[in-house]
Amino acid sequence: MAPEPPLLSMSGITKSFPGVRALDGVDLDVQAGEVHCLLGQNGAGKSTLIKVLAGAHQPDTGTIRWRGEEVTLRSPIAAMRLGIATIYQELDLVEHLSVAENVHLGHEPTAAGFVVRGKAARSSTAQLLERLGHPEIDPARLVGDLSAAHQQIVSMARALSHDVRLIVMDEPSAALDPDEVDNLFRIVGDLTSAGVAVVYISHRLEEIRRIGDRVTVLKDGRAVAGGLPAKTTPTRDVVAMMTGRNVEYVFPERPTTDATAGKPLLEVRGLARHGEFEPLDLSVRPGEIVGLAGLVGSGRSEILETIYGARKPSAGHVLVDGRALRPGSVRAAVRAGLGLAPEERKAQALLMLESVTRNVSVSSMSRFSRGGWIDRAAELGAARAATRELSLRPDNPSVPVRTLSGGNQQKAVLARWLLRGCRVLLLDEPTRGVDVGARAELYAVVRRLADEGLAVLLVSSEVPEVLGLADRVLVLREGRVVHTAPARELDEHRVLDLVMEGSPAS
């Protein structure tokens, strides 16, 4: 089929870290002009593989061939010189420099070897931005002032400012709105038609269907399938290869008894924050899961954080068991039995340098201490019981929390609140960064906690998740609840219509 050698050919790549074999003999072929998708659960080895490709990690064994010739990618600069550019998920831009300065960072156009020609840098940046469909971004603006989507565009412009032949994109659509995603796909199309290869990493199968040519699936550091046709391989097969099992019952069944009969545990009355969301009423009963559906910017996370006391409301009250909480006090909320699993787990919930035990026990320290003195055996025992109840893996709470996968880190956060004896659980994007197989398990955990009498308030940007998991759904648009209904009376289509259509009043 291929008369020429592939643009990139990695074979038998292994890479070990202390205690972990991250890559175990991975092969990857990429042809010029194709979109090669890389799929795999968190911890499957995707990140390590692209870091090897970017020259940031050196493989222990294995060979890399570039246009048929064996090469060693000693450093990111070496990879860049060959024409390999990487756009990381966590954008590596300098916030206090301008767009043009970021794009040309490290290879500024200069006069006499050291005087930066700002004007030249700005005009070439403007050309790149135009090519990327965003001529409205001013090359002179500071990157820190741009939206996440625009920052991504700048990151891409930086990659294209080099003479690239292969671009690695690590979950580029994660921070983007639907129309931004369309623009991204157009750019990918332009690149491939110009003969540039794209290695595309995403959790979203439908994206892979739309733009992918071939798929390589990674699992546990091995390539379980290489070069499958992206458009025709059945979804179920792909998921099965990633998770190693069939995913038929992704969502747990709802209980048959009607929870709406009970007295509300969490009540929100007229809660509002200027400029973020308008006065809101809602109630959650024990055993009930209430979902908030809405797009980015609809005020979902802000609502959750205000209920939790992390933001101070401009009006309204939060009541637990009929008693009003002191507004704007996290401690009051926690004391009343609220627990939050925030959207940004690493930044907002986890102590990354600490063990699972300490992450789990941090909100319940008074339970294992007398006069401030911690009974560490009791602490470990309780942490183990809580993590076992959620089947957290590995089954050793002494390991550092940073070594866990995304799903297990989320379980550590849930175990924290379980141990605290929390009665109202606020979940903000509970499956972000969690792979498909682990999601089902998390859904089951959440449902079980509700069955045990917890009131759960769920926020998610993935409509199927809200519909599948919640009992009742509130649809949000621009900080306002536009519709409330039992989940079984709604479908994805209807919710998307509600979320996107212009409000009748305007």
320-323: Cβ within 8 A, 24+ apart: 320/265, 320/266, 320/267, 320/423, 320/424, 321/265, 322/267
335 binds other proteins (CB under 8 A): yes
15 binds other proteins (CB under 8 A): no
Residue 348 has phi, psi (to 5 degrees) of: -115, -15
402 binds other proteins (CB under 8 A): no
Place of tokens 């699972």: 356
Smallest gap, in angstroms, from Cβ of residue 265 to other proteins? 19
350 binds other proteins (CB under 8 A): yes
Residue type at 243? T
394 binds other proteins (CB under 8 A): yes
Q: Which of 40, 252, 342, 433 binds other proteins (CB under 8 A)?
A: 342
90 binds other proteins (CB under 8 A): no
Q: Which of 353, 489, 504, 505 binds other proteins (CB under 8 A)?
A: 353
326 binds other proteins (CB under 8 A): no
Smallest gap, in angstroms, from Cβ of residue 391 to other proteins? 10
Name which of 199, 161, 186, 169 is nearest 89 in CA terms: 169
Stretches 91-99, 251-259, 289-297, 352-360: which one binds other proteins (CB under 8 A)? 352-360
114 binds other proteins (CB under 8 A): no
19 binds other proteins (CB under 8 A): no
399 binds other proteins (CB under 8 A): no
Q: What would the two tokens of residue 97 be?
A: 């420099």
Cβ proximity to other proteins, 16 vs 369, nearer residue: 369
Compute, in degrees rounded to 10, the torsion defined by CA atoms 176, 178, 180, 181: 80
Place of tokens 């940031």: 56
Burial 397-416 (b: 16+ CB within 10 A, else e): beeebebbbbbbbbbbbbbb
Q: How far apart are CA 218 and CA 224, in angstroms?
A: 6
358 binds other proteins (CB under 8 A): yes
Query: Under rule CB under 8 A, which residues in 466-505 are in contact with other proteins?
Result: none
Q: Which of 206, 275, 331, 505 binds other proteins (CB under 8 A)?
A: 331
Burial 67-106 (b: 16+ CB within 10 A, else e): eeeebebeebeebbebbbbbbbeebebeeeebbbbbbbee
Smallest gap, in angstroms, from Cβ of residue 349 to other proteins? 5
Q: For the residues of 184-217, what is the DSSP string, one character each?
A: HHHHHHHHHHTT-EEEEE-S-HHHHHHH-SEEEE
Q: How far apart are CA 146 and CA 139, in angstroms?
A: 11
352 binds other proteins (CB under 8 A): yes
**Is-contact 383 419, C-beta < 8 A?**
yes
Stretches 117-125, 186-194, 354-362, 462-470: which one binds other proteins (CB under 8 A)? 354-362
Smallest gap, in angstroms, from Cβ of residue 342 to other proteins? 6
Stretches 151-159, 230-238, 262-270, 344-352: which one binds other proteins (CB under 8 A)? 344-352
Stretches 47-55, 389-397, 453-461, 493-501: which one binds other proteins (CB under 8 A)? 389-397
If one counts every other C-beta atom within 10 angstroms of the C-beta of residue 259, the result is 18
Q: Which residues bind other proteins (CB under 8 A)?
A: 18, 308, 310, 330-331, 334-335, 340, 342, 347-354, 358, 362-363, 365-366, 369, 372-374, 376-377, 380-381, 384, 393-396, 398, 416, 420
